[in-house]
Homo-oligomer: A and B are copies of this chain.
């Protein structure tokens, strides 16, 4: 458990970054509707958080608003993109071209936010060499070479649980900077590799849990954005 000096600048809670991402989503929606300004009150109301929370979250990164006026949407959107690192595009590898992998590859939401899946990998000999919507599936062994040559920084891992740690290891050795993992396992990675993980079964269990405990009036079992 890493200790940290008391003098370090304001630490940013991870949930703040998640909310910032959602503010961006809503700002894009507002802009599409033709709005030009908004306020912490409006943003908060739309996302189910307090206005103070919105201002605090943005405050971790700078001053983007105008007292009395609110925020200029055309100004705040690029600021948040810069904060999130989505003001540029990212090359992404997709490892594991099964049902989920294929669906993720076809998912339009990634490209819309600057994430380009530029390389596919699998270990199944029957898939290797095949072309999926214009991209060839490469053997996992080629990760090292291709990550470097294609300047890939992020990887999406949709491989079976049993393969996940080994593949992650190869990706790390190839110099990947972040891994988005769908395998139901906690990957052990070096500290300087970023890590986001989704376990679909865990999420569905959460839903069952919430249903079971709604009746028992489970109070603080309150999702962060409802």
Contact = CB atoms under 8 A, between A and B. Distances in A.
12 contacts: A14-B221, A22-B199, A22-B202, A85-B212, A110-B200, A154-B207, A154-B208, A177-B211, A178-B210, A195-B223, A196-B203, A196-B207
Interface residues of A, number: 76
B153 A205 contact: no
Interface of A: 1, 4, 8, 11-14, 17-18, 20-22, 24-25, 46-48, 50, 83-86, 90, 99-100, 102-104, 106-107, 109-110, 112-113, 115, 153-154, 156, 177-180, 184, 186, 189, 192, 194-214, 218-226
B184 A25 contact: yes
Contacts of A4: 219
A199 to B, nearest CB: 7
A25 B211 contact: no
Given A107-B100, A186-B225, A202-B18, A194 B211 contact: yes
Contacts of A153: 211
Contacts of A197: 223, 225
Given A13-B220, A22-B202, 8 more contacts: A12-B220, A12-B221, A14-B221, A17-B210, A22-B199, A154-B211, A194-B210, A196-B223
A31 B207 CA distance: 25
A195 B220 contact: no
B207 A194 contact: yes
Nearest to A14: B221
Contacts of A202: 18, 21-22, 25
Given A109-B184, A110-B204, A102 B104 contact: no
B115 A204 contact: yes
A29 to B, nearest CB: 8
Contacts of A177: 211, 214
Nearest to A158: B103
A135 B213 CA distance: 31
A100 to B, nearest CB: 5
Contacts of A204: 110, 113, 115, 154, 156, 180, 196
Nearest to A111: B201
